[in-house]
Structure 1
Amino acid sequence: MTTPSTPSTPSTPSFTLHAATATLTPDPLDPAQILSGSPEVTGKVLHESPDGRHLHGIWQITPGVVTDVEADEVFTVLTGRATIEIEGGPTLHVGPGDCAVLREGDRTTWTVHETLRKTYAITLAAPTT
């Protein structure tokens, strides 16, 4: 899904927070991604590598149906439920405690049944030169 704004800097010291209740920043979806409902996205980048290719954070989406093209991502669902249809691949049913892997280029349709909050680690493709 959309990478949340508000990255930390590489010099940010170690810290702890409660991921299920942390305050997140609005990160509006592109209206072209919304297929149904009025889903709203919020997030918080907890760490970004100096080259900007590796992100770790918290992301949340309210109920609705959205599409996306994924980056390489591993995530763990903290709260909520969703069905993620991967074009030409499996359909994932995720809920609290589930870990999932998405691959760069996966075209997905997310049907969010209950507001979903996840922690994630994303690797973005290297820029082409």
Structure 2
Amino acid sequence: MTTNDQVPASFSVYVPDAELVPEPLDPAQIVSGDPVVTGKVLSESADGRQIRGIWQITPGVVTDTEANELFVVVSGRATVEVEGGATLEIGPGDACVLREGDRTTWTVHETLRKAYHISL
């Protein structure tokens, strides 16, 4: 195995204090407010189909089309409305699964931070 083919070393991150970087939010996704998104990819598979990281959004209302994702809310609160499906009230400690293609509206009540795993 060459250096480029090696699996990254195991690690841990304290999610509440992890430093995040700005991530662009398409203005067309913003329904109301002035939400700001930050995040950090912690690991990604060699083929780019498995992504693990931390994501945060400040209060506001945004729309999204989801990937196949499992996440756990670390802090904050939001209401996630899944078009044609459930309305999810999420907060600290909640685990949530969103299906690929779900069209959602996120009403972020308190800055929300989550740790996630996405399968593309």
Bin of the TM-score, shorter chain as denominator length: over 0.9
C-alpha displacement of 1:12: 3.3
Q: Please name the residue that 1:60 is paired with.
A: 56
1:23-38 equivalent positions in 2, closer than 5 A: 23-38=19-34
Report deviation, 1:17: 1.7
Counterpart selection for 1:77 from 73, 76, 89:
73
SS of the residue 2:17 aligns to: coil
- Is contact 1:82-1:114 (8 Å) kept? yes
1:51 aligns with 47
Per the TM alignment, residue 14 of structure 1 is displaced from its structure 2 partner at its CA by: 1.9
How far off its partner does 1:104 sit?
Answer: 0.2
Deviation at 1:120, TM superposition (A): 0.3
Partner of 1:101: 97
- 1:17/1:65 CA distance change after superposition, 3 Å: same
> 2:114 corresponds to which residue?
118
What is the DSSP-based 3-state SS (H/G/I as helix, E as strand, rest coil) of the residue aligned with 2:28? helix
Bigger share in helix: 2
1:13-43 CA distances to partner (integer Å, 9 max, x unpaired)? 2222210110001002000000000000000
Q: Which has the higher strand share?
A: 2
Deviation at 1:11, TM superposition (A): 4.6
- TM-score, normalised to structure 2, is 0.93
Q: Does structure 2 conserve the Cα–Cα contact (< 8 Å) formed by 1:46 and 1:57?
A: yes
**Residue 14 in structure 1 maps to residue 10 in structure 2:** yes
How many residue pairs were aligned? 116
Question: SS state of the match for residue 105, structure 1?
Answer: coil
What is the CA distance between 1:97 and its match in structure 2? Answer: 0.2
Two-structure CA RMSD over aligned residues (Å): 1.3
Shift of 1:60: 0.2
CA distance in 2 between counterparts of 1:53 and 1:75 reads 16
